[in-house]
A = this chain, B = another copy of it.
Amino acid sequence: MAANSVLAPFRSGRHDHGHCIEDALKAAETVCRDRGLRLTELRRQVLEMVWTEHRPVRAYDLLDRLRETRGRAAPPTIYRALDFLRDQGLVHRIESLNAYIGCGSPLSQHSGQFLICRECSAVAELDDPAIEKLIKKRANDAGFQVVGQTIEITGLCPQCSGGDESSSPGSENALSEHA
């Protein structure tokens, strides 16, 4: 069960996963405290679940997991938590997958730019300012005032495109198989 999906640009091996979950939760606490908002147990738990997966997770999968610890829970519960976390920039929604993923840099507001592997569902968050700027410029040239950018690139991650065979790619099609 090698976690070969990462958030910062694809790294060859694994990383300290527990550490990055912790960081995300800490950042969330900071963000909420600074903004006078409540990181309730539910919200905290959902954020932790998102980060535990560490790849795009679907709302109903989160819901199933929530039920394991919390008994009955209905769709609005998970969507409300996700909406809160999204509003605060703590998670992103991947439109092309109808799925959610933890934000790699929650302290700065941004729309997110994602590289999504077709084979293994690994996702990297780019957040390249040059891309954002160029798009903004071209939009402005057309008289368009930019509010948000959805940038989702599909393709093959380093592991799955063949260069790196060290960590069993392909076999792990995660978005649908984390029963």
Interface residues of A in 119-156 (CB under 8 A from B): 124, 126, 128, 130-131, 134-135, 138-139, 142-156
B148 touches A155 (CB 8 A): yes
Q: Which residues of B contact A118 (CB under 8 A)?
A: 147
13 A-B pairs besides A131-B138, A143-B161, A150-B150 with CB distance below 8 A are: A95-B152, A126-B139, A126-B142, A130-B138, A131-B134, A144-B158, A145-B155, A147-B155, A149-B151, A149-B152, A150-B151, A150-B152, A150-B153
Instruction: Classify chain A's interface size.
Output: 35 or more
- Residues of B within 8 Å of A163, CB to CB, are 143
A154 to B115, CA, bound (A): 20
